[in-house]
Amino acid sequence: MKQHYSVIVVGGGIVGATAACALATEGIEVALLDVHNPIRTWPEDEQADIRVSALTRASQNILTKIGVWDAMAQRSVGPYDQMHVWDASSAGVLHFDAADTKYDVLGHIVENRVTVAALWDQLDALPSASILCPAKVMDLTCDTDKAEIILEDGAVLTADVLIAADGRDSALRQMAGIQTTGWEYQQDGLVATISSEKSHQQTAWQRFLPEGPLALLPLKNGDCSIVWTLKHETAQEYLALTENEFLQKLEQASEGVLGNILSVGPRGAFPLRFQYAQQYTAEHFVLVGDAAHAMHPLAGQGANAGLLDAAAIAETIIQTEQASRPMGSHKSLRRYERWRKGDNLAMMSSMDVINKMYTQDNEAFKQLRGTGMQVINQTNLLKNYFNQYAMGLRDDLPELAN
């Protein structure tokens, strides 16, 4: 016997679980599938998760409205009220301050496990939501009436809409025959948690270096999460260094802005890619988050773009259902694609241009970008524009993000 749901979401990470929560909150019958059960509790003194997200005001609004932000805050969210960006190869400096906005903070640095745990707890409490885990999709077919998936255990599930939130190497996207365009950056993002001599001052620090930016992101407990973009070979070399050797490299790269780096936890690295799906939708099928787009992490916008996807597809489905139209028709789902694809491509392209701009080894170019940073820093109108954009506060946002 086939089990039917209004919506099936495959992938229980931040984006997929947010989409499922947003739908179930409005009474849409939704099933969330994932291969792995995420951890939801851990010792208070355990070191922070090495994967974090810099969540914008718009993302906070989404997570608040679906009822999970308070639970996240109880676990740990690290507010930052300033951002300091400087260029190692020029005199360029940018400084953003929440005091120049109507908000008390610019954003929050949050461990990914904190967000996922709060989302899954909320799904457990929502009567319209079901969690199927572990569940691995082996086959997918979409016809004019429904989407159908076959699981590894032989179970057959059908849905009016199937949302693929299974990451940038999405198996569901491949099963649906949707092609991608993009390239490898030949860079890795090296991530770790560090403790330092000086306070992070609730400031997100970022220094542009010849191989890519180093970001020092403030955590609630006083530590910092680092995201260090390096050439692939350099990243692998730095993973193999002893702790003391790595700390010396990090202190030098950060120009001692946090004083002595006292310790570093486990290090990891992931390859960076520019990639976008040529289409986001098909009959009864939708891509969200990294399954639809993968961007450079230098401004930490990947998770935020995915959360906007989640809010937008939920709003699209809910409005379609309220209008008594078939929620899975390609015509209905195309509204979501038109809504989100242009915004995502603009953000991805901006990150790509900035990354290329700061890895140019040309003296005249270095001076030009340094001058550009200084102009922005000294022009309130430009600074406010970048501030608002970085906080996710722009036109045409989903209702949940406002």
Stretch (H or E) spanning 75: helix 69-75
> Quick check: is 215 in a domain?
no
When divided into structural domains, the chain yields a total of 1
With a cut of 70, list the residues of the chain below it in pLDDT.
1
Tell me if 51 sits within 8 A of 150, measured CB to CB: no
> Quick check: is 210 in a domain?
no
> Quick check: is 29 in a domain?
yes
**Strands 3-10, 93-97: parallel, antiparallel or unpaired by DSSP?**
unpaired
> Quick check: is 97 in a domain?
no
Q: What's the pLDDT tens digit per position in 49-83? A: 999 999 999 999 999 999 999 999 999 999 999 99
Give the predicted TM-score (pTM) of the model.
0.95
Q: What's the pLDDT tens digit per position in 109-166? A: 999 999 999 999 999 999 999 999 999 999 999 988 999 999 999 999 999 999 999 9
Q: Which alpha helices (H) appear in 96-188, and where do they start and end?
A: 112-125, 171-175
Give the Cα separation of 202 and 256 in Å (integer). Answer: 17
> Quick check: is 252 in a domain?
no
Q: DSSP letter at 387?
A: H
> Quick check: is 322 in a domain?
yes
Q: Write down the pLDDT at residue 388.
A: 80
C-beta atoms surrounding 241 within 10 Å: 15
Name the residue range of residue 138's domain: 3-78+107-182+273-359
The residue type found at 273 is R
Instruction: Give the CATH number of the domain where residue 40 resides.
Output: 3.50.50.60
Q: Write down the pLDDT at residue 280.
A: 98
Closest by alpha carbon to 217, among 245, 189, 184?
189
> Quick check: is 211 in a domain?
no
Give the Cα separation of 376 and 85 in Å (integer). Answer: 12
Q: Write down the pLDDT at residue 188.
A: 97
Give the Cα separation of 264 and 383 in Å (integer). Answer: 34
Q: Write down the pLDDT at residue 390.
A: 78
C-beta atoms surrounding 181 within 10 Å: 9
C-beta atoms surrounding 151 within 10 Å: 16
> Quick check: is 379 in a domain?
no
Q: Write down the pLDDT at residue 1.
A: 60
Closest by alpha carbon to 212, among 269, 293, 290, 257?
269
